[in-house]
Amino acid sequence: MRLAPNFAKPSQARTDATEARLSGLALPESGAWGRAARQDALDRLREMGLPQPRDEYWRMTNPRPLNGAQAEAADLMADDEAPIWGETGALRIVFRDGVFDAAASDDLSAIEGVRIERLADAMAGDIHWAKDLYGALESRGQSPVPRPFAALNTATATDGVVIDATAAASRAIRVVYERSDEGADPVLHSLVRVAPGAEVTLLESGAGGARINTVLEADIADGGRFHHVRMQGRDPGRRAVTHSFARLGAEAAFKSFTLTMNGFLTRNEQVVEFTGDDAIAHVAGACVGDGRDFHHDDTVFVTHDALRCESRQVFKKVLKNGATGVFQGKILVKAGAQKTDGYQISQSLLLDDDSQFLAKPELEIYADDVACSHGSTTGAIDPTALFYLRSRGVPEAEAQDLMVLAFLAEALEEIEDGDLAEELRVRLEGWLARRAG
Amino acid sequence: MLDIKGLTVDLEEEDKQILKGVDLSVEAGKVHAIMGPNGSGKSTLSYVLSGREGYEVTGGSATLDGQDLLDMDPEERAAAGLFLAFQYPVEIPGVGNMTFLRTALNAQRKARGEEEVSSAEFLKLVREKAKTLKIDADMLKRPLNVGFSGGEKKRNEILQMAVLEPRMCILDETDSGLDVDAMKLVSDGVNALRDEGRGFLVITHYQRLLDHITPDVVHIMADGRIVKTGGPELALEVEKNGYTDILSEVA
Ligand SMILES: Nc1ncnc2c1ncn2[C@@H]1O[C@H](COP(=O)(O)OP(=O)(O)OP(=O)(O)O)[C@@H](O)[C@H]1O
Ligand SMILES: [Mg+2]
């Protein structure tokens, strides 16, 4: 798979940085198709090179902490909270520092309507359906904007989850990324194939590493439904770069939500492509960040290339004590994608003057009969509302928390399953309460 | 119980004096009414007493049962028993009416060293009070005041007052925007709370409200001062003749 020719040859500095990053990495052992897919991805990566701070797509987020040859050690967090969604009955899969933990995981076959494998197993053989998906959506997603960390991931991922949904799944799948090593630097790649009319829910939580790179490729066939709900690990020092690529067939549905609390650096890229008519994709997220060492970036790219599809992006960020939030989101409507309904909103609540929110919302439309809108707002807590709450006896800090939760509630409403959302809300309350002291 | 002496207040933003020496005492068990022309400083007085930002107290004092109100945060004033029913209740999207009220009640109880109320007790309490004010379950579930009609907002203020049981209640034009039936409901709500230990300061423009809530004392405020104090008949006089006579008489 070659890249579109509009990528200029990388500069020497970029090539050096890329090679430095690659020097410590070996392509994991794979069967024939896996070897080929990894080599393709490596070629793609070398062609574009790793991001550098002046790149347009990385203008608002410094890629350096993700670029280094070695992950910087990040303190382990003493966490007394049980992993989220433990009581939902979902099938549990645990990766510890990026390594599959069989003892802590459920039997992967204890689910109906879905076949689950580890990526390492799927790639070991010479034939597997995953051949047609692994790296396929990632490489499609490299144009018009390069996503080098995703190519790096395809080339070097050691494991992940491969999900083949052929009917309505009998239970959700819950992947937990545990972390017990200060320097773990895992690269994990997961695949989801949803057959026509099938439906599956993937839950993910945990920090997983000092630096973690994850890719998810989801291919949702006609009438299929895929739900993805994530809570990213709270470890203050962790760095994460994640990519989700989703391709939707006719009347398919993709619903994705990510909650981020803490983290030194988080870059979440979501790439959605409509290829069949009448499909819907909702990607949403909320984050709360406290302090200068918090930087959170949501980068979303939705391509409409079919009739009457609906896309919706809802992102909310609460930032305090010098935290930074970034949103760059694009809706691209190709010629002929008539009756597209595209919506995008990004909002931040800044709890002080030191924190900042940088937003770059974009619409690019080549069809004439579409309804697309986007908006971005930055605001502080409304002092009138705060006074009203306080005048009833609610202490200032608690009143502020109420306002913060109220602000984020709109994003949480994007989650279809109210029980999953409620658990996230409780975690948010906990996060706020810990800061009250 | 509420004692205001020589209170002078400037706006923080601009060099403008709004309250120019307010003297007023409300005794426990009594209902005092304040009337006065638009812009005379009635709402300002209520805001300064409840601790809203934007005002600078340049002189005088305000105490509740001897405690210096002006020195406290708004939430401390509430816990001390002060309540303001707002002239313009605030809409807060995303904060549920019930969640808010329960948080407020328990915060006040906690501040006073009392036990928090359980959800069951709280539900029972609110349902009972809501019923008498004809506030339906749907309104309780909605975000705080969001999409409430003007009259519904005012009834919701009285519901909060009924649940929080403050000792000193200030009502700022709670009657404005109420239809005849709602006026009756609200007045009944207020009258139900009248007792020996509780004081009321009712700001209004109309005798109508005072027909239902009979005041013990009526004050006229003009240009940042209480210019006249009398019995219920003073309100009737205002109703009949407006402020011109009273103001020229004191000038
Ligand atoms: N934040 C502010 N900025 C500018 N002017 C203010 C502010 N707050 C109060 N004022 C002024 O102070 C004066 C008193 O206002 P206030 O709202 O207390 O009057 P009021 O007696 O309640 O009037 P009404 O009967 O119309 O409700 C008015 O002239 C008003 O314009
Ligand atoms: Mg007023």
Q: Which residues of B touch A388 (CB under 8 A)?
A: 86, 89-90, 92
Spatial distance between the Cα atoms of A281 and A245, rounded to a whole number of angstroms? 12
% of residues, chain A, pLDDT over 70: 98
CATH number at residue B146: 3.40.50.300
Mutate to test the pocket of ligand 1, among B44, B49, B56, B87 (most ligand atoms within 8 A of CB): B44
Q: Which residues of B touch A404 (CB under 8 A)?
A: none
Residue B208: what pLDDT? 87
* Helix, strand, coil distribution of chain A in percent, nearest 5: 25, 35, 40
Give the closest residue (by CA) to ligand 1 atom 18.
Answer: B41
- Region A238-265 average pLDDT: 97
Where do the H-state alpha helices sit in A61-124?
64-67, 119-124
Spatial distance between the Cα atoms of A72 and A235, rounded to a whole number of angstroms? 13
Where do the H-state alpha helices sit in chain B?
42-50, 74-79, 97-111, 119-132, 137-141, 150-164, 180-193, 207-212, 233-241, 244-250
Lowest average pLDDT, out of A383-392, B71-80, B233-242, goes to B233-242
Spatial distance between the Cα atoms of A409 and A425, rounded to a whole number of angstroms? 8
Spatial distance between the Cα atoms of A261 and A232, rounded to a whole number of angstroms? 7
∠ at Cα A148 (A146, A153), nearest 5°?
135
Query: Which token pair is A389?
Result: 């709450």
C-alpha distances in Å from residue A232, one per residue of A60, A204, A322, B75: 21, 8, 20, 35
Q: In what helix (H) or strand (E) does residue A412 lie, and over which residues does it extend?
A: helix A396-412
Spatial distance between the Cα atoms of B56 and B71, rounded to a whole number of angstroms? 12
Centroid of ligand 2 to alpha carbon of B37 (angstroms): 9
Query: Which amino acid belongs to residue B153?
Result: K
- Region B154-160 average pLDDT: 93
* Per-residue pLDDT tens digits for A211-231: 999 999 999 999 999 999 999
Residue B185 lies in a domain: no
Q: In what helix (H) or strand (E) does residue A280 lie, and over which residues does it extend?
A: strand A280-290
Centroid of ligand 1 to alpha carbon of B187 (angstroms): 26
Spatial distance between the Cα atoms of A349 and B249, rounded to a whole number of angstroms? 53
How many residues would you count in chain B?
251
What backbone phi and psi angles, to 5 degrees, belong to A304?
-95, 115
Residues with Cβ < 8 Å from B50, sequence gap 6 or more? A391, B74, B77, B78, B82, B84, B170
* Per-residue pLDDT tens digits for A124-164: 999 999 999 999 999 999 999 999 999 999 999 999 999 99
In chain B, residues 140-169 whose CB comes closer than 8 Å to chain A = 143, 160, 164
How many residues would you count in chain A?
437
Read off the pLDDT band of A296 (50, 70, 90): very high
What is the residue whose two structure tokens read 């998810």? A216
C-alpha closest to that of A267 among A249, A247, A248, A285? A285
The answer, yes or no, to whether residue A117 has pLDDT greater than 60, is yes
Long-range CB contacts (< 8 A, 24+ apart) of B188-191?
B188/B132, B188/B212, B189/B132, B189/B133, B189/B155, B189/B158, B189/B159, B189/B161, B189/B162, B190/B158, B190/B161
In 3-state terms, what secondary structure has residue A128?
coil
Nearest to A394 among B53, B75, B84 (CB): B75
Q: Which residues of A touch B90 (CB under 8 A)?
A: 384-385, 388
Spatial distance between the Cα atoms of B9 and A115, rounded to a whole number of angstroms? 73
The answer, yes or no, to whether residue A4 has pLDDT greater than 60, is no
Q: Which atom of ligand 1 is nearest to the CA of B87?
A: 27
Read off the pLDDT band of A2 (50, 70, 90): very low
Residue A1: what pLDDT? 45
Task: Note whether A398 contacts B: Cβ–Cβ < 8 A.
Answer: yes
Residue B187 lies in a domain: no
Ligand 1 binding pocket includes B6 (Cβ within 6 Å): no
Residues with Cβ < 8 Å from A102, sequence gap 6 or more? none
C-alpha distances in Å from residue B178, one per residue of A263, A321, A332, B42, B223: 51, 44, 51, 20, 27
Side-by-side strand order, sheet with A310-320: A99-100, A91-96, A173-178, A199-206, A225-232, A253-261, A280-290, A310-320, A341-350, A371-379
Ligand 1 binding pocket includes B187 (Cβ within 6 Å): no
% of residues, chain B, pLDDT over 90: 76
Distance of CA B108 to the CA centre of its chain: 17
In 3-state terms, what secondary structure has residue A362?
strand
Closest approach of B227 to chain A, Cα-based (Å):
28
Closest approach of B92 to chain A, Cα-based (Å):
6
Read off the pLDDT band of A348 (50, 70, 90): very high
- Region B165-186 average pLDDT: 91
Q: Which residues of B touch A395 (CB under 8 A)?
A: 73, 75, 107, 111
Domain count within chain B: 1
* Per-residue pLDDT tens digits for B12-65: 998 899 999 999 999 999 999 999 999 999 999 999 999 999 999 999 999 999
Residue A121: what pLDDT? 97
Nearest to B73 among A388, A396, A406 (CB): A396
Spatial distance between the Cα atoms of B101 and A392, rounded to a whole number of angstroms? 8
Give the closest residue (by CA) to ligand 1 atom 3.
Answer: B11
Closest approach of A386 to chain B, Cα-based (Å):
9
Ligand 1 binding pocket includes B46 (Cβ within 6 Å): no
Indicate the pairing of strand B17-26 with strand B2-11.
antiparallel
Spatial distance between the Cα atoms of A261 and A233, rounded to a whole number of angstroms? 7
Within a 10 A sphere around the Cβ of A165, how many other Cβ atoms?
27
The answer, yes or no, to whether residue B83 has pLDDT greater than 90, is yes
Which ligand ends up closest to the CA of B172?
A: 2
Tell me the sheet residues that pair with A361. A329
CB A52 within 8 A of CB A63: yes
- Region A319-343 average pLDDT: 97
Centroid of ligand 1 to alpha carbon of B19 (angstroms): 10
Give the closest residue (by CA) to ligand 1 atom 25.
Answer: B38
Closest approach of B48 to chain A, Cα-based (Å):
11
- Region A256-272 average pLDDT: 97
Read off the pLDDT band of A25 (50, 70, 90): confident
CB A243 within 8 A of CB A150: yes
Lowest average pLDDT, out of A134-138, A322-326, A430-434, goes to A430-434
* Per-residue pLDDT tens digits for B90-129: 999 989 999 999 999 999 999 999 999 999 999 999 999 9
Exposure class string for B140-156: b at 16+ Cβ within 10 A, else e:
bebbbbeebeebbbbbb
C-alpha distances in Å from residue A294, one per residue of A65, A164, A352, A356, B68: 12, 36, 14, 11, 42
Look up the domain containing B24 and give its range: 2-180+193-249
Centroid of ligand 2 to alpha carbon of B46 (angstroms): 9
Cβ of A387 and B84 within 8 Å? no
- Region A304-330 average pLDDT: 97
Residue A7: what pLDDT? 57
C-alpha closest to that of A297 among A66, A124, A12? A66
Query: Which token pair is B105?
Result: 């009640």
Closest approach of A403 to chain B, Cα-based (Å):
7
Exposure class string for A230-249: b at 16+ Cβ within 10 A, else e:
bbbbbbbbbbbbbbbbbbbb
Residue spans per domain, chain A: 12-380
* Per-residue pLDDT tens digits for A171-207: 999 999 999 999 999 999 999 999 999 999 999 999 9
Exposure class string for A265-301: b at 16+ Cβ within 10 A, else e:
bbbbbbbbbbbbbbbbbbbbbbbbbbeebbbbbbbbb
Cβ of A387 and B143 within 8 Å? no
- Whether the upstream peptide bond of residue A395 has omega within 30° of 0, thus cis, is no
C-alpha distances in Å from residue B77, one per residue of A46, A122, B49, B67, B73: 66, 66, 8, 10, 6
Query: Which token pair is A154?
Result: 């395809």
Residue B251: what pLDDT? 67
Average pLDDT, chain B: 92
Which ligand ends up closest to the CA of B87?
A: 2
Average pLDDT, chain A: 94
Spatial distance between the Cα atoms of A286 and A232, rounded to a whole number of angstroms? 11
- Region B193-201 average pLDDT: 94
Cβ of B52 and A393 within 8 Å? no
Rg from Cα positions in chain B: 18
